[in-house]
């Protein structure tokens, strides 16, 4: 469903009228295309305080496609290294660094603030580093014109390279106001043009919508994709598999033996990337919700994710260095009228990811993360009544809905072995939705 308001505000009369009426003014977001895969322009590298990462970081930023600068009148992106700030007087340097440049950041530009992990034993450092979170979330709400702000808490610049490349590219167009923790896992060598080369990915619910887009982006990045959906969607599923040079696996994930059937379909080489995308809604207020609308949502969205992940880990099907990406939702963070079942299932995904991630990494060498989409333009959201749909689209810092490809790009970043330091994270792909923020 086309966003007519976004198209209208892109015209001269539309801009004039919406400005006069004080209405939201979304900028069309710049996304990855083969012709234009990078942001273009200068990358302003600023440091607040004494950074332990300055030299390593410069190396990494030089490897992005942007031109590294220490001064710029119109930067495409700004990286502020605030990892060295260990007390609240140091926060003045954050203001001093960004206040003069923030207005000049280009349309669709990026502001990435780098922080240090919050210390549990030094309350001065904790206050200063936690302050960065409120700062970045507020800046994301102020920037406008398709610009985004993100905080990355990192231990080593090297482990953060894949995250920085994602954030400093058009692939992260609909990710804003997020706080991302990156551990110090050793970064795997990576072909940055095809970061998933040689890997096998299984995507559930891939016959259409977000799952189809995820399969497409993973295949673009070099993965062999195994696309799974219910047997009744086999026609569409085979079309997706054929288009992407992948393999179709018609299977209902709620079947008792679904995990075992996935494992045997993936034998003998196993699986590197598991994307739990399949999901359903059966909306109704709790007072009107019979068990036959509650149970299937919990079964598909949560129980089957737990059961199949356990089976694939237990059978050793998930290879070391692999990754699991599950699909939550901002409904699982903020709650939603008529969605007690759906929000419970999606909040359950967040619990599963946070609890499983450390052990799965230690024992099996795999990362476990979640994407939490906000309002994404799909058949599902096109069916939402007009006024609720318009509210869903506009109530975020970018004042528009995301596209399935935005969830797919975020999934591909999390799935890359170069992102091994990102574990147990829930990344909202919501344009910094006001809901649950």
List C-alpha distances in Å: 3 to 7, 126, 359, 394, 404. 7, 42, 43, 11, 14
Minimum Å gap between C-beta 389 and ligand NAD is 10
- CB of residue 279 to ligand NAD, shortest distance in Å: 2
Verify binding: residue 211, ligand NAD, rule CB under 6 A.
yes
CB-nearer residue toward ligand NAD: 94 or 278: 278
Element spanning 325, H or E:
strand 318-327
The secondary element (H helix, E strand) that includes residue 67 is strand 67-69
- State which residue, 153 or 208, has the beta carbon closest to ligand NAD: 208
Residue 381 in the binding site for ligand NAD (CB under 6 A): yes
Q: Give the whole-angstrom CA distance, residue 396 versus residue 173.
A: 13
The residue within the footprint of ligand NAD, chosen from 18, 254, 303, 315 (CB under 6 A), is 254
Query: Which residues, including other chains, have CB under 8 Å from residue 205's CB and lie 6 or more apart?
Result: 211, 228, 229, 277, 278, 279
- Answer yes or no whether residue 289 interacts with ligand NAD by CB under 6 A: no
To which H or E segment does residue 370 belong?
A: strand 367-373
Residues 6+ apart with CB under 8 A from 243: none
Pick the binder of ligand NAD from 118, 127, 190, 233 (CB under 6 A): 233
Is residue 176 classed as helix, strand or coil in its secondary structure? coil
How many angstroms separate the Cα of 384 from the Cα of each of 180, 226, 265, 376, 399?
31, 31, 37, 12, 17
Question: Site size for ligand NAD, by CB under 6 A?
Answer: 27
Residue 253 contacts ligand NAD per CB under 6 A:
yes
For residue 221, the minimal CB distance to ligand NAD (Å) is 19
Query: One symbol per residue from 74 to 113: x for binding ligand NAD (CB under 6 A), - otherwise; what is it?
Result: ----------------------------------------
In the chain, % helix, strand, coil (3-state, to 5) comes to 45, 20, 40
**Catalytic one among 5, 166, 342, 375?**
342
User: Segment contacting ligand NAD (CB under 6 A): 32-40, 150-158, 316-324, 369-377?
Assistant: 369-377
- Examine the residue annotation and report whether 174 is marked as an active-site residue of this protein: no
CB 199 within 8 A of CB 222: yes
Residue 398's nearest CA partner among 1, 2, 4, 6 is 6
- 162 is a site residue for ligand NAD (CB under 6 A): no
CB of 323 to ligand NAD, least distance (A): 17
Q: Does 280 bind ligand NAD (CB under 6 A)?
A: yes
223: Cβ contacts below 8 Å, ≥ 6 apart: 196, 197, 199, 200, 201, 272, 273, 415
20 binds ligand NAD (CB under 6 A): no
Q: Which stretch binds ligand NAD (CB under 6 A): 83-91, 111-119, 139-147, 377-385?
A: 377-385
Binding-site member from 200, 204, 317, 437 for ligand NAD (CB under 6 A) = 204
- Shortest reach from residue 99's CB to ligand NAD, in Å: 36
Considering only 12, 20, 379, 387, the residue that binds ligand NAD (CB under 6 A) is: 379
Q: Which long-range contacts (C-beta less than 8 Å, at least 24 apart) are formed by 68-71? A: 68/42, 68/43, 69/42, 69/43, 69/44, 69/45, 70/44, 70/45, 70/46, 71/44
Which residue stretch of 78-86, 117-125, 311-319, 373-381 sits at the interface with ligand NAD (rule: CB under 6 A)?
Answer: 373-381
R_g (Cα) of the chain, nearest Å: 21
d(CA 375, CA 338): 16
| Alpha carbon distance 271, 269 (integer Å) | 7
Q: Which residue lies nearer to ligand NAD by CB, 110 or 208?
A: 208
Q: Compute the Cα dihedral for 375, 354, 149, 411 and give only its sign.
A: negative
**Which region among 22-30, 53-61, 252-260, 351-359 touches ligand NAD (by CB under 6 A)?**
252-260
Decide if residue 376 touches ligand NAD (CB under 6 A).
Answer: yes
Closest approach, Cβ 239 to ligand NAD, in A, equals 12
Q: Which of 278, 313, 343, 422 binds ligand NAD (CB under 6 A)?
A: 278
Residue whose token pair is 């970081």: 57
**Which residues are catalytic, by number?**
342
Residues in contact with ligand NAD by the rule CB under 6 A? 204-205, 207-211, 229-230, 233, 252-254, 277-280, 300, 327, 329, 373, 375-376, 378-381
């Amino acid at each position: 469903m086309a966003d007519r308001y976004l198209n209208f505000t892109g015209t001269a009369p539309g801009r004039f009228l919406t400005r006069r009426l004080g209405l939201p003014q979304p900028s069309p977001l710049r996304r990855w295309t083969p012709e234009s895969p990078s942001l273009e322009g200068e990358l302003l590298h600023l440091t607040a305080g004494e950074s332990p990462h300055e030299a390593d970081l410069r190396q990494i930023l030089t490897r992005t496609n942007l031109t590294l600068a220490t001064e710029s009148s119109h930067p495409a992106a700004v990286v502020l290294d605030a990892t060295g700030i260990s007390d609240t007087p140091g926060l003045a340097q954050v203001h001093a660094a960004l206040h003069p440049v923030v207005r000049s950041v280009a349309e669709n530009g990026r502001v990435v603030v780098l922080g240090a992990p919050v210390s549990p034993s030094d309350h001065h450092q904790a206050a200063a580093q936690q302050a960065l979170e409120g700062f970045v979330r507020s800046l994301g709400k102020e920037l406008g014109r398709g610009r985004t702000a993100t905080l990355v808490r990192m231990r080593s610049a090297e482990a953060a390279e894949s995250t920085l490349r994602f954030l400093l590219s058009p692939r992260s167009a609909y990710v804003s106001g997020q706080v991302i923790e990156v551990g110090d896992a050793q970064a795997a060598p990576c072909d940055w043009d095809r970061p998933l080369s040689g890997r096998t990915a299984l995507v559930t619910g891939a016959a259409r919508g977000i799952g189809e887009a995820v399969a497409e982006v993973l295949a673009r990045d070099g993965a062999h994709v195994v696309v799974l959906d219910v047997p009744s969607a086999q026609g569409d599923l085979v079309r997706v598999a054929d288009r992407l040079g992948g393999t179709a696996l018609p299977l209902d994930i709620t079947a008792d033996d679904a995990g075992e059937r996935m494992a045997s379909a993936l034998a003998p080489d196993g699986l590197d990337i598991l994307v739990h995308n399949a999901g359903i809604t059966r909306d109704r207020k709790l007072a009107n919700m019979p068990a036959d609308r509650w149970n299937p949502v919990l079964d598909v969205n949560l129980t089957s994710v737990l059961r199949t992940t356990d089976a694939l880990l237990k059978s050793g099907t998930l290879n070391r260095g692999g990754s699991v990406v599950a699909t939550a939702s901002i409904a699982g963070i903020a709650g939603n009228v008529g969605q007690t079942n759906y929000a419970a299932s999606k909040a359950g995904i967040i619990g599963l990811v946070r609890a499983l991630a450390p052990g799965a990494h230690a024992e099996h060498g795999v990362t476990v993360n979640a994407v939490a989409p906000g309002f994404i333009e799909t058949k599902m959201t096109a069916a939402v009544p007009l006024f609720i749909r318009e509210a869903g689209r506009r109530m975020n810092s970018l004042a528009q809905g995301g596209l399935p490809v935005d969830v797919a790009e975020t999934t591909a970043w999390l799935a890359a072995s170069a992102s091994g330091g990102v574990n147990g994270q829930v990344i909202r792909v919501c344009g910094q939705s006001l809901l649950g923020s």
